[in-house]
Chain A
Amino acid sequence: MTKAEYLKLLSTDLSCMPYGEVQDIIDEIGSHFDTAIERGKTEDQIAVELGDVHELAKSYINITPNKLPAVLRENSEKKPAPKGARVFVILFNVFVGAPIGLWWAAIDIALVYAFVSNLIFFIARWTMISDLGVYITPAVMFQISSFFGLLVILVLAYFGIRLLIKALSSYLKWNRKLWVKGF
Chain B
Amino acid sequence: MNIQFKKGVLDMCVLAMLRDGDSYGYDIADTLSSKILLADGTVYPILRKLASDGLVTTYLKESQNGPPRKYYHLTDKGLDLLKEYIDDWNSFNEVVRGIIGGDR
Q: Which residues of A contact B (CB under 8 A)?
A: 25, 27-29, 31-32, 34-36, 38, 46, 49-53, 55-56, 59-60, 62-63, 67, 70-71
A-B interface, 5 closest residue pairs, ranked by CB to CB distance from nearest: A51-B39, A59-B45, A35-B26, A50-B41, A56-B41
Judge whether B19 is part of the interface by a CB distance below 8 angstroms. Answer: no
Instruction: Determine the distance from Cα of A46 to Cα of B25 in the docked complex, in whole angstroms.
Output: 14
Those of B46-78 within 8 Å (CB) of chain A: 47-49, 52-53, 63, 65-67, 69-70
In the complex the two chains form, what is the Cα distance from A110 to B36 in whole Å?
A: 85
Q: What CA separation (Å) do A69 and B48 show in the bound complex?
A: 15
When chains A and B are docked, how far (Å) is the Cα of A51 from the Cα of B44?
A: 12
- Residues of B near A51 (CB, < 8 A) are 38-42
B65 and A38 form a contact (CB under 8 A)? yes
Write the chain B residue with the least CB distance to A52: B39
Q: Is A38 in contact with B66, judged by CB distance below 8 angstroms?
A: yes
Q: With A28-B25, A67-B52 in contact, is A56–B44 under 8 Å at CB?
A: yes
> With the chains together, A59 CA to B40 CA distance in Å?
13
Instruction: Find chain B residues with CB under 8 A from A55 CB.
Output: 39, 41
| Bound-complex Cα distance A67 to B45 (A) | 12
Beyond A35-B63, A51-B38, A56-B39, 5 extra complex contacts between A and B, CB < 8 Å: A31-B26, A31-B70, A35-B69, A49-B39, A62-B45
Count, chain B residues at interface, CB 8 A: 23
The reply to whether B40 and A49 contact each other, CB–CB distance below 8 Å, is yes
Q: Which of B11-49 contact A (CB under 8 A)?
A: 24-26, 29, 33, 38-42, 44-45, 47-49
A68 closest partner in B (C-beta): B52
Bound-complex Cα distance A74 to B25 (A): 26
Q: Are B69 and A60 in contact (CB under 8 A)?
A: no
**Judging by beta carbons under 8 Å apart, are A60 and B48 in contact?**
yes
A70 surroundings in chain B (CB, below 8 A) = 52-53
* Neighbouring B residues of A60 by C-beta, 8 Å: 44-45, 48
CB distance from A3 to the nearest CB of B (A): 13
The listed residue with most B CB atoms (<10 A of its CB), out of A29, A49, A71, is: A49
Query: With the chains together, A46 CA to B66 CA distance in Å?
Result: 18
In the bound assembly, the distance between CA atoms of A137 and B36 in angstroms comes to: 112
Report A-chain residues with C-beta under 8 Å of the C-beta of B66.
34-35, 38
Check if B49 sits within 8 Å of A67, measured CB to CB.
yes
A28 touches B44 (CB 8 A): yes
A71:B41 contact, CB within 8 angstroms: no
Within the complex, the shortest CB–CB distance from A68 to chain B, in Å, comes to 9
Asked whether, in the complex, the Cβ of B39 is within 8 Å of the Cβ of A25, the reply is no
